[in-house]
Structure 1
């Protein structure tokens, strides 16, 4: 056999081998991809089920101590405003009594019954200035301070606005009890101004279901 014949046969065998080999590798690669894809799908679903199961098993324990502390803080804020309103309204009525009757006695009815209304002109003039428009105990200034205290005590939290309004009403009621009956007209006007201020804040905060209180309680 000639050298050319041997080379020709060798080339054909080599060509056939090279053509067949990739085909086999392609099938194996295809099987591996399919197997990997199927396995990946199983693993993903299992992982998702595990996460769902873990989520379902989560439990949350209420921090009772913190809740009680927050309640106590809110109640303290409310009581602070009650005390502030009570004292402030009594101071305002005291200034009113001095300007009109010449005394800021807490027991105004006993004072009126005594007939002793004398007071020095300077003190009476100062009291009249205090309750006049723009004065320290005027309707505008007194109502503004009450609302400022309410906002400061709550840090401007809209959720506590109702509680602060309730505190104002209770404080006003206590002031009436201290006075011995309905407060003077200047205090009633202050009452209305404060409630309007609360209504304005509710509107500013966008609170829903806010009911205005217009009558003295």
Structure 2
């Protein structure tokens, strides 16, 4: 039996197929667009179209939500401190009086254009839902169920009834999701 020298063989060079080149191009484009905002929609040969979520956009939305939460927490904490109270006191059922300054600040944040207005909150929730789903409308029922569960949790935490602004925000979120589904 004869064994041929491996080095005498010509090296095998795989030819790049058109499909491989498209995958490489898409990968390069994805890397270039990595730090841009929004959801990226990409075409594929395998499927009519598919979507990927944009981690940068999701991280940005999370950071903004955290900042808004901190702002609200700070406002409540300052209100409590002015009355010689703490969060624990408030949760233990001690009476908390809302002074005019804090009431006006809270009212302003709920008005049109405020960071807690119906439009602003609905926009953030719908943007996050679209980003986390990668723009995939087939995930719409899952998204709606998660939003329903979130509002149900808030309702339970508030003693079984949501404020009117929360109900209107919920309705606006669902309207926007339905609108997105029909685009």
TM-score of the superposition, structure 2-length normalised?
A: 0.49
* Higher normalized helix content (fraction of residues): 1
TM-score of the superposition, structure 1-length normalised?
A: 0.42
